[in-house]
Amino acid sequence: MSRAATTADVFNAVGDDARRELLDALATGEATVGELVERLGRDQPQVSKHLRVLREVDLVRCRNAGRHRLYRVHRPGLAPLQHWLGHLTTTVNEHYDRLDDYLHDLQRESLHGSEN
Amino acid sequence: MSRAATTADVFNAVGDDARRELLDALATGEATVGELVERLGRDQPQVSKHLRVLREVDLVRCRNAGRHRLYRVHRPGLAPLQHWLGHLTTTVNEHYDRLDDYLHDLQRESLHGSEN
DNA sequence: TTGACATATGCCGATATCAGTATATTATCG
DNA sequence: CGATAATATACTGATATCGGCATATGTCAA
């Protein structure tokens, strides 16, 4: 009972450098595994494995083209990230203002308070 | 030579459920560790530890208020996330269109890759 | 100072994760 | 059918990560 969940969520998937690089590489269009291997300069098995993770969380999809496999970003898969980040951002913006930041940064140095 | 980097980046920090919950909880304003412990229903040490990670990547900051410590979201810390996701999204949108998705989804049906 | 409260840190064990290597699967072509 | 190219999976070892518990640090108040 130590760890939490498998890599099976979008946030975790994007938490890895290699996978973000893959997404970036696919941002401009489809690519085969071999092309990605070359562009990222990583081993083929690793690229395949990372692609698998991305596929499992629906951030990418693929189709067969001859002997190759063309991967592409699956836009709807980005929704959870966009929604969470958007929601967080707007909520924070609604509840904080410049004055807050200003005051807080001032108070960060020293402060006295007595109350609960 | 196995693992990559320490948890010291924003994407990794946000990859964890507990930390996202913390950010969500702080979205509406400052809170003390105790309040967060109660809201999230997690042990105090864990909350503190997760807050530490968030602090290290500059997603939250804190100030002392008496015996308490008030944590808050540090908005600039969100920038890397916003930029990466925004850039990815617009790039993808520029290079894909509805027709692409339509065709790809069609072809996806016709030929298939096995899975495991 | 002492004592109580709030928060942080240290240690541990279980498990996940990643890179690397070798091998299996799948598809195309002759 | 067999050979070969492209990709996927299996296994391994090193390390990171997380949760749980105990304890340390720090802050106020009397």
Q: Where are the domains of chain A?
A: 10-75, 78-107
Examine the pLDDT at B17 and tell me if it is beyond 70.
yes
Q: Taking a C-beta distance cutoff of 8 angstroms, is the pair B104, A72 a contact?
A: yes
What pLDDT score was predicted for residue B1? 46
Q: Is the pLDDT of residue A44 over 60?
A: yes
Handedness of CA B91, B93, B96, B101 (dihedral sign): positive
Higher pLDDT, A66 or A37: A37
- B18: which residues sit within 8 A by CB, 6+ positions away? A4, B40, B42, B46, B50
State the architecture of B10-74 in CATH terms: Orthogonal Bundle (1.10)
- The per-residue pLDDT for range A49-98, each reduced to its tens digit, is 999 999 999 999 999 988 899 999 999 999 999 999 999 999 999 998 77
In B 9-68, which Cβ lie closer than 7 Å to strand C? 32-34, 37, 44-45, 47-49, 51-52, 62, 67-68
- In angstroms, the separation between the Cα of residue A14 and the nearest Cα of chain B is 7
CATH class of A10-75: mainly alpha
Residue in B1, B6, B20 with CA at minimum distance from that of residue B73: B20
Q: Check residue B54 and report its DSSP letter.
A: H
Q: Which residues contact B92 (CB under 8 A, 6 or more apart)?
A: A27, A73, A75, A78
Give, in order, the Cα–Cα distances in Å from A106 to each of A100, B51, B52, B60, B63: 10, 21, 21, 16, 10
Q: Which of A9, A21, A76, A64 minimizes the C-alpha distance to A46? A: A21
| Size of the A and B interface in Cβ pairs below 8 Å | 109
- The pLDDT score that the predictor gives to residue B108 is 47
Closest-CA residue of B relative to A67 is: B113
